Each structure stands twice: as structure tokens, then as C-alpha cells.
Amino acid sequence: MTAGQLDLRGGALKLLEAEFHYNVPSWRPEIRYERTGFRGQLSVTQPSSAPVAGSAENRWVLLLNPEVPLDLTVVLGAGEAELDLGRLSLRSANVKVGAGKVKVEFSETPKKSFDLNIKGGVGEAIVYLPSEIGVIARASGGIGGIEVSNLRKEGGAWVNEAYGKSKVTLRLNVTGGVGSITLVG
């Protein structure tokens, strides 16, 4: 998505259930699915990034199937993203936001270990981390600073109380540009 609001979470019965709200016809999202052997690739993209005068609306609500193992990639040029990753069966997740705000949370406890990489440009990244599983977080950049709560510093990373004790581990890497990074354990 080049610009707009993205709400992504688990809860679909099919691979994807989506709602799109936009008022610029050329912003109609394109959905493609390609299958190679036992793997598939689903992509949802905004085809046009031409600037529009006046008040433009572009909001996507994407529900993904929580039973399907996923390697998730989210790219948002400008805007806001709210990602609830707790119900998803993630193998990896990569999130990139150029300008704006990204909020990541876990409404349910992940059942498998995975890597979560978040790269922010101009704006803010807020990550609410699960306490029931081990978390190791690394954060760098962010001229606005890095704020960490309910995690302890261990070497060059922050960890929670469950780190090293649980079978499931979330490995988080957050890099920011001009903006702030907030990690809440």
C-alpha cells in the first residue's frame, strides 16, 4: 500500500477475507495468488501511487487464516498500520513503513517461534509484546528515541522474564529513522 490505513489480523476462514474502502478508482487493490508446489504466494497491492488533491480515503482491513503458516511482508509507504499478529501462524514477519505509524500487538499468544523485523522511516513504531513467551528485542535508530518498558537489558538486547524459559521465542528487530520506537513488554 502506498498510502492509507491498514488493519491486519487473523480470523479469516479462507486464506484472506478483506474489506477495501477507497475513493480514488485507480487505487482499487489488486489481489493475486500464485501456487508453486506446496507453497503459495498471496499479494495484495495498490497499483497507483499518483497524488490526489482533496481528501482521499484508502483503508484496508485484511483478515488472514490463522491456521495457514505464513511468511508475512507488509510494506506501507505512508499512513498508519495496525497489525495484530497473535492469531496468525507466522514463520516470519517483515514490516516496513516509510512515513507514519505502525502499531503491532498480540491479542493471543503465538504458538510458534518466529522473527519479526520492523523498519520504520519518518514516524513512530509501537510494539506491544506478549509476556507468556520468550522475547528478545533489538532496537536501533529512531532520532526520537527508544523507549522500553517491562523488559530488561541483556547484552545488546532487551528480554522479558519468559526469555530462555519458554519453548516459543519471538525474536524482534526494530530499526527506525527519524521518529520514535516504543517496546512494551
Least confident window among 65-74, 101-110, 135-144? 135-144
Examine the pLDDT at 28 and tell me if it is beyond 80: yes
102-128 pLDDT per residue, tens: 999 999 999 999 999 999 888 888 999
Q: How many C-beta atoms lie closer than 10 Å to residue 104's C-beta?
A: 24
Residue 81: exposed, middle, or buried by beta-carbon count in 10 A (0-12, 13-18, 19+)?
buried
Residue 89 predicted with pLDDT over 90: yes
Position 181 confidence tier, pLDDT thresholds 50, 70, 90? confident
Q: What is the pLDDT of residue 53?
A: 61
pLDDT value, residue 122: 83
For CA atoms 72, 110, 67, 62, the dihedral sign is: negative
Dihedral, CA atoms, 74, 76, 80, 84, nearest 10 degrees? 0
The Cβ-side half-sphere exposure at 74, using a 13 Å CA radius, reads 32
Domain boundaries, the chain: 3-184
Question: Who's near 128: CB < 8 A, 6+ residues apart?
Answer: 103, 104, 105, 106, 184
Evaluate if residue 139 carries a pLDDT over 90. Answer: no
Q: Assess whether pLDDT exceeds 70 at residue 50.
A: no
Q: Which of 97, 94, 93, 58 is nearest to 76 (CA)?
A: 97
Q: Specify the range with the lowest mean pLDDT, choosing from 44-53, 139-148, 161-170.
A: 44-53
C-alpha cell read off for 135 = 522475547
